[in-house]
Amino acid sequence: MWNSPKVGILGGGQLGRMLVESANRLNIQTNILDADNSPAKQISAHDGHVTGSFKEPDAVRKLAETCDVITAEIEHVDTYALEEVASKVRVEPSWQAIRTIQNKFNQKEHLRKYGIPMADHRELVNNTPEELAQIGEQLGYPMMLKSKTMAYDGRGNFRVNSKEDIPEALEALKDRPLYSEKWAYFKMELAVMVIKTKDDVLSYPTVETVQEDSICKLVYAPARNVPDAINQQAQALARKAVSAFEGKGAFGVEMFLLEDNSLMLCELASRIHNSGHWTIEGCALSQFDSHIRAILDLPIPPKSLELLQPSIMLNIIGGATPDSHLKATQAALSIPNASIHLYSKGAAKPGRKMGHVTVTAATMHEAETVIQPLVDVVDTMRA
C-alpha cells in the first residue's frame, strides 16, 4: 500500500479541481498553489494549500515544502523554480519537459529531432513586417502566426490570409515571441491522451475534437467515421511524441488528420487536457485518475483506459450574457445520461470555460441524437 503521499499541484483551475476529485477518492491529499477559493481549493478542506501563483518562485518553494511530488495543471509555470525544488521533491512531469513544451516553437524544434510530422514553420526574430512577408513567401497563404508562449484557446494565434493582413497580425500579437506556421488543410482534428508511467507509455482511444473560434467545443470519443487503422496510428504517433519527454503523468496530444489520411501533430500539452474530459464517464479510469496514479507509481491496468461507451463532451463556455452558461446548464439537467461538471470559476466571460457536459450512449449515433438539443441551446448563446 502506498504511504499516504501528498501531491502538490501548480494551479487550481478546473483541471486541478478534477484532479482533486480523483485524488480524494484514494484518500490522497492534494495541496494546491493558487489564489484562495480557486476551483480546486473549494472542494478540498485542509490547511496544506498555498496562496499565491505558480509563476512566483517563493510560492513554488513553499508548496515544495508541503508535499512528496509536485505536478501542474498548466504548462505556463515557473520552470526555474521547479528546477530548483527538484532536488528536494519529485517533479512530474520533469521541469525540462514542461520548459520545452511551454514554448510551442521549442516544443516543435525538439519533436522534429524525433521525426514527428508537423506543419512547416519559421521563427520570427525581429517581428517586422518585412520578416513576416518573407516568411509568407516561403510558407504561402494563409498561414498561422503564433505566439511561442502563453498560448491557450487560440489566444496567441492569428490567421494571416494574405500579405495585406501582416500589419494587423503583428499588431494583434505585438510584444510576444512569434513563429509562423504553414496552413494545415485538415479534414478533422484528432486528439489522444497519453499516460506516461515509470515503465510504460499508454494511450486512450483517439478522439475527434471540434474547435469553434479556436476554442474546443465538442469532443467525440471515439472519433467519428475514422477507421481503426487511423485510430491506432494516431495513438502510436501521440505515444511517440510524448516519449520524447522525460517524466510521468498525462499528456494531451492534438493532431490534424489531413485529406490524404496522413497525420500531423498540432501541439502537445504536458498535462491533463480538455480533450480527455470524456474519460471521466467514458472509461474505467479517467485521465485524472491515471495522472494521479502515474505520478505516484500506482498500477494502471491498460484495460482501464479502453472506451466503455461512445461519449460526447460539450464545453459550457461563457456566452453573450453573464448567465448564458447557467441557461445551458439548466437545459443539460433534462438530457438523459448527461453528466454535468461545473467548475465554480465565478463570473463568466465570453469564451471562458465554465463547465462541460458528457453524454454516453450505446452508439455514437444515439449519443449525437441525445446531445443535439443541448448543442442547439449552446449555439443560440454564443457571444
Positions touching ligand ATP (CB under 6 A) are 119, 144, 151-157, 181, 183-184, 189, 211, 214, 254, 266-267
Instruction: Report the residue number, 208 or 360, with the smaller CB distance to ligand ATP.
Output: 208
Peptide bond between residue 142 and the one before it cis (omega within 30 degrees of 0):
yes
CA proximity to 245, closest of 101, 104, 103, 80 = 101
Span of 21-29, 89-97, 262-270, 318-326 interacting with Mg ion by CB under 5 A: 262-270
Q: Which residues ranging from 267 to 286 are in contact with Mg ion (CB under 5 A)?
A: 267
Rounded to a whole number of angstroms, the minimum distance from the CB of residue 153 to ligand ATP is 4
Distance CA 129, CA 122 (A): 14
Copy the grid coordinates of residue 6.
501528498
Query: Which of ligand ATP, Mg ion, none has residue 154 at its interface (CB below 5 to 8 Å by kind)?
Result: ligand ATP
Q: How many angstroms separate the first and last alpha carbons of the chain?
A: 50
Binding string to Mg ion for residues 218 to 257, with x set by CB under 5 A, is what?
------------------------------------x---
Q: Which amino acid is at 6?
A: K
Distance CA 135, CA 141 (A): 10
Query: Which of ligand ATP, Mg ion, none has residue 153 at its interface (CB below 5 to 8 Å by kind)?
Result: ligand ATP
Query: Which of ligand ATP, Mg ion, none has residue 183 at its interface (CB below 5 to 8 Å by kind)?
Result: ligand ATP
Helix (H, G, I), strand (E, B) or coil at 312: strand
In the chain, alpha helices (H): 14-25, 39-42, 57-66, 79-85, 95-102, 104-112, 129-139, 166-172, 228-243, 279-282, 287-295, 324-332, 364-380
Instruction: Report the residue number, 50 or 73, with the smaller CB distance to ligand ATP.
Output: 73
Rounded to a whole number of angstroms, the minimum distance from the CB of residue 332 to Mg ion is 25
Q: Which amino acid is at 109?
A: E
Span of 5-13, 109-117, 243-251, 260-268 interacting with Mg ion by CB under 5 A: 260-268
Rounded to a whole number of angstroms, the minimum distance from the CB of residue 281 to Mg ion is 23
CA proximity to 312, closest of 184, 210, 177 = 210
Rounded to a whole number of angstroms, the minimum distance from the CB of residue 266 to Mg ion is 6
User: Which residues of the shown chain bind Mg ion in the complex (CB under 5 A)?
Assistant: 254, 267
